[in-house]
Amino acid sequence: MKNLLLLVLSLSLTLSLGMCLTLFPITSQAQDHEMGDMHSHKGHMHEQMVDGKALTVDADRFDKFVSDIAGDQIAVISVQGMVCDFCARGIEKTFGKDNTVTKIDVDLASGKVLLAYSPETEIDRAVIEKNILNNGLNATAIQVLGK
């Protein structure tokens, strides 16, 4: 009797879990993903934990961005309001004037801006945030890799 109850209980749990996975598939609105998904085989810089938090960025795009900038520091900026290419032009223009920035990538799909800085640069997050704000957008998170 006891074994029968245990069997019914385990079957019920299994059935419930299966229904949950079927009815509520795990999807992502944005194209960036948590570090548990390792799509890239080129390198694993994007796996790095930053400030105790997982780095959320499109792996393939990130790998492509860092492929020719060995040694540089990378700032990954999450931006709100960046829904229009025409409007995001100002970001590229603003950071392009900074001679410590060696490369810029604007990812509209994930709302991320990637900035590469020369290794000796002291990255000022407040300046980055201000530059984003001066373009009418909001920086909600700034993660720095590489130093």
Binding site for other proteins (CB under 8 A): 29-30, 78, 80-81, 83-89, 105-109, 111, 133-138, 140
Min dist CB 91 to other proteins, Å, is: 10
Min dist CB 97 to other proteins, Å, is: 14
Nearer to other proteins, 72 or 105 (CB): 105
Nearer to other proteins, 19 or 30 (CB): 30
Min dist CB 111 to other proteins, Å, is: 6
Tokens of 130: 């201000």
Tokens of 49: 């934990």
User: Number of H helices and number of E strands within the chain?
Assistant: 4, 4
137, 80 contact by CB (below 8 A): yes
Nearer to other proteins, 21 or 30 (CB): 30
Task: Report the C-alpha gap between 43 and 23 in whole angstroms.
Answer: 35
Q: Cβ of 28: how many Cβ atoms within 10 Å?
A: 11
